[in-house]
Amino acid sequence: MNILLIDNNDSFTRNLEHLLVSAVAGCNVDIKPYSRLDSLEYSAYDLIIISPGPGEPAEYPGYKRIFNADKPVLGICLGMQIINELHGGATGRLNGCVHGKTDIIKFDGTKRVVARYHSLKVTMVSSKLDILAVNRDDVVMCLGNAEKRLLGYQFHPESFMTPDGGGYIAFALHFLGLN
């Protein structure tokens, strides 16, 4: 599987690459900086991943074209917020920020521990996306649309504080129709 990982200048990008390599047998991960977004060719990739990053979705214009590439897209943290906003949703500030803390979410019928690193949250979910996980404060932790092959995680599966990060990658591949 060929994976394009678009790096939004985030320190977790290499951790995400390592998780992908360990969780997806035989995959090839190409990391490209956000600054090259406009010149990227998507046809050789099976999956596009939008990395976490600093700032807010409005600071990363140009992502709309990847949704026209007819490829499955997974967004992590900022990447999830970008998916949501470009499909009509909205992002706002959390009360405070959550950096390097664990939380319990309701996901796929079970309660799970995940790592959070964010100060923004989805405040309005796009009508084109479904909420797939929340925490106890109803902060959206996962959203997606299987038919449109879009999935986003607000938490960080690549963090050492998220047990079974590979399980979230496996869920994403299944949800996005890649296995």
Mean pLDDT, rounded, for 93-116: 94
Mean pLDDT of 65-84: 95
Closest CA to 156 of 170, 146, 168, 144: 168
Judged against a pLDDT cut of 90, whether residue 130 lies above it is answered with yes
> Can you tell me which residue has the tokens 């214009």?
61
- Measured in whole angstroms, the distance separating CA 154 from the mean position of its chain's CA atoms is 7
Task: Flag whether pLDDT at 179 surpasses 90.
Answer: no
In whole angstroms, give the CA distance from residue 21 to residue 27.
6
Q: Which of 17, 77, 85, 118 is catalytic?
A: 77
Q: What is the pLDDT of residue 96?
A: 87
**77 noted as active-site residue:** yes
* Active site annotation includes 85: no
pTM here is 0.96
Mean pLDDT across 149-172: 97
pLDDT at 14 > cutoff 90: yes
Cα–Cα distances in Å, from 112 out to 12, 16, 30, 126? 21, 19, 30, 25
User: For this structure, is 59 an active site residue?
Assistant: no
Residue tagged active-site, from 87, 118, 142, 158? 158
